[in-house]
C-alpha cells in the first residue's frame, strides 16, 4: 500500500468470509507498507474494506479513512480467450503511429504534458486504441488473426513517451491511448471477431517518473544510488566463460538513465510483478504476453514467473525478446534441449536468428551457407528447441530497419521474404506498414521505422488502408501477403505441419510443410533469369501426388520431371492427387 505517512496508521480488515489479513509489514519508506492477505479457495467475490486509523489517536494531522479493494470473480474457462496457434498471423502495431481514432485524447492533461506534434520524430502523434479498433476489419481483411501492441500502459514521462517502454503506471492504460475500460472493450471486440490480443510487458524496468521510483523501499531497484548502465551483453547469461562481473552487469545495470531497473530478487518486487501480470490476463482476457528485454531481468525470477503464469493460464502464449545474433545463445533462453540449460521455462523467443536469416535470403547473394541457404542452415538448428513452433518469427519490427528497405526495394525479394515468413514454422508476426511497402532504416534513429500509417489520421492526403489509396505496386504486395495470411489459416500444414527441407542448389531452395492429410511445397528462387529444377529429387515427398496447385494464382500444373521457375520467383503449391 502506498499512501502518505501510511506507517503512522493502523490497518485492519472488516470481517469477510474466507479472507484473513495475515501481516502488515513496514518498509524503509514511511509512505509504503505491505499487506498480506490469506484468501481461501472458493471465497466469494465482493468488496473488502480496510479501516485505516492513526496509531496516535490524538494526531490532528492524520484522520481515519477506509479503502475498498474488490475481489472479482475469475472468468470461467469457456470465456477465456485462446492462446495462439502456428496457424495464426500476428500484426505488430506501434500504437502512437497507426491510427488516430479520437482527437480529444491527443493532449490529455498528464503530469508531463507533451503536445501532439506529427512533425516530430520522437514526439507523440496521437494514435490510440480507438484507432486500432476502427481498423479491425481492415486487419481481418488482410488475414490477420492476432495483434501485438507495443506497450499501452501509462508513460507519463517528459521525454520520448511515444514508444511506451518507460511505464509510469503498470495498472493503467495511457489516457492518450484510451482507458482500461477501452482496452478491455477492445479485447472483447477482438474476441468477438476471433482476433487474439498479445500484451507487451516489461518486468525489467519502469520509467523514472513511476511512483515506485519516488517512494521506494530498500532493495526494490538495482543501483538505486549510483547510476550503472547494463553492458547489453545478453550472451553473458549463457556464456560459460563470462566474467562474473560482466554477467551481473548485464542483468543489474539500467537500460538507460530514465529506466530504473527492478530487482526481481527482492520478494516484494517479485510478488508485485507476479500479481501484476496475472491481473492483466484476467481483466483483459489476453491470449498472450510478449516480454520485453528478456535477458535483462533476474533469470531465476523469470523462470518463476513462467511457472506462475502458465500454472494459472496453461493456454497462454508467451514469447520473450532475446535480441542476440546466434541460434545457440537464443535457444538457451527457452525450453531447450541443451545440457545445462534445462531449467529455463520461457516457451518461445522473438526469433532474431530466423529474422537475420529471412533478411539475408532477400538481400545477400546465394552461397553454400549464404542467401537462401541461411534459412536452410537456421532451420537445421531447430533441434536446440523443445518446440520451435512457439517462437515468434518476424522479418522486421519497431527496432530494426523496415524489410522493404532491407530488400533494397525489390518487390521480388520482398515477396520471397514474406513467403518465407508465412510458410516456415513458428508464430509469424508482421510489423504494421510492411504490407504497404513502408520504408525506413534505423541508422539515424529507430524513429525512422515508426512513421505514421498513411490514412490513419483525419485529413491525411492519401489513405493506404484502401485499395484506391495504394499504388499498383503496393496493392500487388498487399494481395500477395493477404493470400499467404489466409493460406496460413486455411492450410493447417503451413502452421502445425512438419517441415522437410532440401538444401538450396543453384539459387533455389525448396521445402515441404505437411500433415497426414495435406502437403505443401514451397519453392524460392534467387536466380535473376528463368530456371528449371529437377522434380525427381523430391520424389519421397511428391509420391502419390500428380499435380501442383499454385495458391497465389490458382493455376494447376502436372508434376513432371522439370519445374520451370520465373526469375526471382516465389511459389507456394498445394500437392494434389
Ligand atoms: Ca488520439
Ligand atoms: Ca535488469
Domain boundaries, the chain: 6-73, 88-495, 498-576
Of 408, 396, 407, the C-alpha closest to 448 is: 396
> In angstroms, what is the span from residue 127 Cα to ligand 1's centroid?
5
Predicted confidence at residue 59, as pLDDT, reads 66
- Separation of alpha carbons 166 and 153, rounded Å: 9
- Separation of alpha carbons 380 and 10, rounded Å: 62
CB 109 within 8 A of CB 117: no
Homologous superfamily (CATH) for 88-495: Glycosidases (3.20.20.80)
From the CA of 107, the nearest ligand is: 1
Is the four-CA dihedral 419, 423, 425, 426 of positive or negative sign?
positive
> In angstroms, what is the span from residue 256 Cα to ligand 2's centroid?
11
- Separation of alpha carbons 547 and 84, rounded Å: 32
488: cell is 496460413
> In angstroms, what is the span from residue 123 Cα to ligand 1's centroid?
13
Of 89, 149, 83, the C-alpha closest to 285 is: 83
From the CA of 126, the nearest ligand is: 1
119: cell is 512533425
Active site residue 321: yes
> In angstroms, what is the span from residue 441 Cα to ligand 1's centroid?
26
Residues surrounding ion ligand 2 at CB below 5 Å:
204, 261, 296
Distance of CA 466 to the CA centre of its chain: 26
> In angstroms, what is the span from residue 449 Cα to ligand 2's centroid?
26
From the CA of 255, the nearest ligand is: 2
> In angstroms, what is the span from residue 447 Cα to ligand 1's centroid?
19
Contacts of 514 (CB under 8 A, 6+ apart): 493, 497, 498, 500, 520, 541
- Separation of alpha carbons 235 and 214, rounded Å: 32
Predicted confidence at residue 480, as pLDDT, reads 98
> In angstroms, what is the span from residue 110 Cα to ligand 1's centroid?
14
Predicted confidence at residue 76, as pLDDT, reads 93
From the CA of 100, the nearest ligand is: 1
Of 529, 500, 506, the C-alpha closest to 367 is: 506
Catalytic residue among 88, 321, 435, 452: 321
> In angstroms, what is the span from residue 159 Cα to ligand 1's centroid?
18
From the CA of 250, the nearest ligand is: 2
Distance of CA 404 to the CA centre of its chain: 21
> In angstroms, what is the span from residue 152 Cα to ligand 2's centroid?
21
> In angstroms, what is the span from residue 252 Cα to ligand 2's centroid?
4
3-state SS of the chain: helix, strand, coil percent to 5?
Answer: 30, 25, 45
Predicted confidence at residue 120, as pLDDT, reads 94
Predicted confidence at residue 93, as pLDDT, reads 98
CB 344 within 8 A of CB 332: yes
> In angstroms, what is the span from residue 187 Cα to ligand 2's centroid?
30
Q: Residue 115 has what DSSP assignment?
A: -
Predicted confidence at residue 366, as pLDDT, reads 98
Of 189, 105, 121, 99, the C-alpha closest to 154 is: 105
From the CA of 254, the nearest ligand is: 2
Active site residue 292: yes
- Separation of alpha carbons 262 and 246, rounded Å: 18
The topology under which CATH files domain 498-576 is: Immunoglobulin-like (2.60.40)
Low-confidence residues in the chain, pLDDT < 70? 59-60
- Separation of alpha carbons 60 and 83, rounded Å: 54
Q: Residue 477 has what DSSP assignment?
A: H
Catalytic residue among 200, 292, 382, 435: 292
> In angstroms, what is the span from residue 205 Cα to ligand 2's centroid?
7
- Separation of alpha carbons 505 and 567, rounded Å: 15
Residue position matching grid coordinates 490510440 = 128
Of 520, 528, 482, the C-alpha closest to 365 is: 528
CB 204 within 8 A of CB 292: yes
- Separation of alpha carbons 195 and 213, rounded Å: 36
b vs e for 414-444, b when ≥16 Cβ sit within 10 Å of the residue's Cβ?
Answer: bbbbbbbbbbbbbbbbbbbbbbbbbbbebee
From the CA of 134, the nearest ligand is: 1
Amino acid at each position: 500500500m502506498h499512501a502518505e505517512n501510511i506507517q503512522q496508521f493502523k490497518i485492519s480488515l472488516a470481517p469477510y468470509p474466507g479472507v484473513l489479513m495475515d501481516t502488515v509489514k513496514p518498509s524503509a519508506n514511511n509512505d509504503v507498507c505491505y499487506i498480506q492477505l490469506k484468501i481461501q479457495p472458493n471465497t466469494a467475490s465482493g468488496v473488502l474494506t480496510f479501516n485505516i486509523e492513526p496509531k496516535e489517536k490524538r494526531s490532528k494531522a492524520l484522520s481515519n479513512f477506509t479503502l475498498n479493494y474488490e475481489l472479482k470473480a475469475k472468468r470461467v474457462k469457456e470465456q477465456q480467450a485462446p492462446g495462439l496457434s502456428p496457424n495464426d498471423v500476428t500484426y505488430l502495431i506501434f500504437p502512437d503511429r497507426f491510427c488516430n481514432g479520437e482527437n480529444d485524447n491527443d493532449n490529455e492533461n498528464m503530469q508531463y504534458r507533451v503536445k501532439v506534434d506529427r512533425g516530430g520524430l520522437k514526439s507523440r502523434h496521437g494514435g490510440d486504441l480507438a484507432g486500432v479498433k476502427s481498423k479491425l476489419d481492415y486487419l481481418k481483411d488482410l488475414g490477420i488473426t492476432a495483434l501485438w501492441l507495443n506497450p499501452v500502459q501509462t508513460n507519463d514521462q517528459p521525454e520520448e513517451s511515444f514508444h511506451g517502454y518507460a511505464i509510469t503506471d503498470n495498472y493503467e492504460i495511457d489516457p492518450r491511448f484510451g482507458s482500461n475500460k477501452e482496452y478491455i472493450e477492445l479485447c472483447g471486440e477482438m474476441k468477438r471477431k476471433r482476433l487474439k490480443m498479445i500484451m507487451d510487458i516489461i518486468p525489467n524496468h519502469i520509467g523514472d517518473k513511476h511512483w515506485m521510483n519516488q517512494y521506494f523501499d530498500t532493495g526494490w531497484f538495482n543501483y538505486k544510488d549510483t547510476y550503472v548502465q547494463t553492458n547489453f551483453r545478453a550472451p553473458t547469461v549463457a556464456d560459460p566463460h563470462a566474467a562474473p562481473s560482466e554477467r551481473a552487469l548485464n542483468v543489474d545495470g539500467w537500460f538507460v538513465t530514465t529506466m530504473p531497473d527492478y530487482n526481481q530478487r527482492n520478494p516484494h518486487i517479485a510478488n508485485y510483478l507476479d500479481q501484476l501480470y496475472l491481473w492483466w490476463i484476467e481483466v483483459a482476457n489476453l491470449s498472450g504476453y510478449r516480454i520485453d528485454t528478456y535477458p535483462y531481468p533476474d533469470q531465476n525470477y523469470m523462470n518463476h514467473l513462467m511457472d506462475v503464469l502458465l500454472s494459472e493460464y496453461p493456454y497462454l502464449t508467451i514469447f520473450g525478446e532475446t535480441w542476440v545474433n546466434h541460434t545457440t545463445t537464443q535457444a538457451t533462453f527457452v525450453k531447450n534441449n541443451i545440457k545445462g540449460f534445462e531449467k529455463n521455462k520461457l516457451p518461445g523467443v522473438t526469433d532474431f536468428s530466423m529474422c537475420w536469416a529471412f533478411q539475408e535470403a532477400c538481400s545477400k547473394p546465394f552461397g553454400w551457407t549464404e542467401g537462401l541457404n541461411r534459412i536452410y542452415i537456421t532451420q537445421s538448428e531447430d533441434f536446440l528447441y523443445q518446440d520451435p513452433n512457439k517462437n515468434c518469427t518476424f522479418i522486421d519490427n519497431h527496432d530494426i530497419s523496415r524489410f522493404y528497405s532491407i530488400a533494397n526495394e525489390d518487390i521480388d525479394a520482398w515477396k520471397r521474404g514474406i513467403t518465407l515468413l508465412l510458410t516456415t514454422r513458428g508464430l509469424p508476426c508482421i510489423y504494421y506498414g510492411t504490407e504497404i511497402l513502408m520504408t525506413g532504416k534505423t541508422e539515424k534513429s529507430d524513429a525512422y521505422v515508426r512513421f505514421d500509417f498513411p490514412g490513419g489520421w483525419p485529413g491525411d492526403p492519401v489513405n493506404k488502408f484502401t485499395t484506391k489509396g495504394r499504388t499498383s505496386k503496393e496493392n500487388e504486395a498487399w494481395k500477395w501477403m493477404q493470400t499467404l495470411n489466409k493460406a496460413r489459416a486455411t492450410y493447417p500444414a503451413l502452421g502445425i505441419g512438419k517441415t522437410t527441407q532440401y538444401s538450396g542448389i543453384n539459387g533455389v531452395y525448396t521445402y515441404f510443410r505437411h500433415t497426414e492429410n495435406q502437403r505443401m511445397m514451397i519453392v524460392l528462387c534467387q536466380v535473376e533469369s528463368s530456371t528449371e529444377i529437377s522434380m525427381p529429387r523430391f520424389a519421397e515427398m511428391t509420391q502419390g501426388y500428380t499435380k501442383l496447385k499454385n495458391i497465389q494464382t490458382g493455376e494447376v500444373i502436372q508434376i513432371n520431371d522439370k519445374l520451370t521457375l520465373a526469375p526471382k520467383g516465389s511459389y507456394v503449391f498445394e500437392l494434389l492427387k
